[in-house]
Structure formats: structure tokens, C-alpha cells
Chains A and B, each alone.
Chain A
Amino acid sequence: DQQVKQNSPSLSVQEGRISILNCDYTNSMFDYFLWYKKYPAEGPTFLISISSIKDKNEDGRFTVFLNKSAKHLSLHIVPSQPGDSAVYFCAASADTNAGKSTFGDGTTLTVKP
């Protein structure tokens, strides 16, 4: 049972345009959501998070939107840059223990110059 799904395995975007990465979840107990970014041969790095009491969190070019009723979250990157090319994982947790986060299987973003 895959509780966190990223249905698009890959996304290609032109530099300067918006990148939108999507994530759906099934467990209504999840109340904290995170996005991680992963470059080849490196571990994932934390990017941005949102708790269920909010529907939007912004950090520079990155904004995460949460729609609890639809059990859907998205990551917007504006403007996209070639250095943003990486694999993006969303993760969800129902617990303060970060180790109980459930990860999606990632979306590979390619930003073309």
C-alpha cells in the first residue's frame, strides 16, 4: 500500500518557467509534509515543509501548497533554474518522529537552459 504517490516520474521545464511537482497521499493521519531534493550520488536534502494547519508555505523561489481535503500537495518552483534539475521526493508524517515519514518515489525534474 503506497501511502504517498508522486505520479509523474519525470518533468521537463524551460529555464525561467514554473515547475510544478505533485504529490498525493492516502493516510488522513498525515499532518506534516516535506519536500526533499536529491542530486545524483548524493543523499536527499531537505527543501521545504508544511504542516496541516497551513495551506501554503513559501521560501524564496519554492512554495508548497497543501490541499487537505484532496490529500494533495504540490511544490512550485518559480523561476526554474538549471541547478534545480534533480529528483524531488515528497514525504509525509503523522508523528513527530521524522523517521516515520513515508516517502514518495520521486519526480526527476530537468530544467533546460
Chain B
Amino acid sequence: DTAVSQTPKYLVTQMGNDKSIKCEQNLGHDTMYWYKQDSKKFLKIMFSYNNKELIINETVPNRFSPKSPDKAHLNLHINSLELGDSAVYFCASSLTGGAFYEQYFGPGTRLTVT
């Protein structure tokens, strides 16, 4: 009964490759997010989608492209991977409006670029 799931959990790849990370939530939430946690442990928002529409797009390289086929899925595709992309990527979801500020996070995908 995983609320927010991500695949894969671990991803090791070489520089220059293209890879995707998938995220799915079964909570009926209308907003999904991608965060990057770097080596300094900061959690930084990358993208946010509300009802399949992009609403937050922080300053990330164009090599990162999110895709939301429906409200329950938000995938992250990364082109031409670089060493600096190595991090843990977390997907999250939430309900907007009302008092539902809290987000539900997936378990994370540890990406290692060699």
C-alpha cells in the first residue's frame, strides 16, 4: 500500500547517458513534486505539477524534463547525465488548498553518475 513510490531505488550510470526516474502516488493528490537532495543534505524543489500542469520550475538545467501523463504520475527524465547530477531524488505529492500543506514523500532514488 505504498502511498508514493519511485523506481528505481538505485541508479548507477555513466556520464552522457539518458535516464528516467518514475513516480506514482495513490493518495488521490492533485500536486506532485521532484526534489533533489545534494551532498550537503539540502532538499531543494526542482519541479511541481498541479493537475498535470507545470506550476513550479526552479532553476534546473534543461537536461531535466518532467513528464506528467496523469495526476498520479510524475516522471523525471535526465539527458546527458553529468557527475554533478549525483544525488538523491525525492518525489512527493500533496493536496493543494485548504490546510493540506504537508507533502508525502517517496523513498528516494539514489542516482550515481560515474
Which A positions have Cβ atoms within 8 angstroms of B? 32, 34, 36, 41-46, 49, 87, 89, 93, 96-101, 103, 105-106
Contact = CB atoms under 8 A, between A and B. Distances in A.
A34 B56 contact: no
For this complex, into which size category does the number of interface residues on chain B fall?
Answer: 20 to 34
Given A43-B92, A43-B108, A97-B96, 13 more contacts: A34-B101, A34-B102, A41-B108, A43-B105, A45-B105, A46-B104, A96-B97, A96-B101, A97-B50, A99-B48, A103-B44, A105-B40, A105-B41
Majority secondary structure, B binding face? strand
A49 B101 CA distance: 9
Majority secondary structure, A binding face? mixed
A46 B48 contact: no
A23 to B, nearest CB: 14
B30 to A, nearest CB: 11
B21 to A, nearest CB: 13
Given A43-B4, A43-B90, A98 B103 contact: yes
A98 B105 contact: no
Contacts of A87: 41
A34 B104 CA distance: 12
A102 to B, nearest CB: 8
B103 A46 contact: yes
B43 interface: yes
A98 B108 contact: no
B102 A98 contact: yes
A99 B45 CA distance: 7
Contacts of B96: 96-98
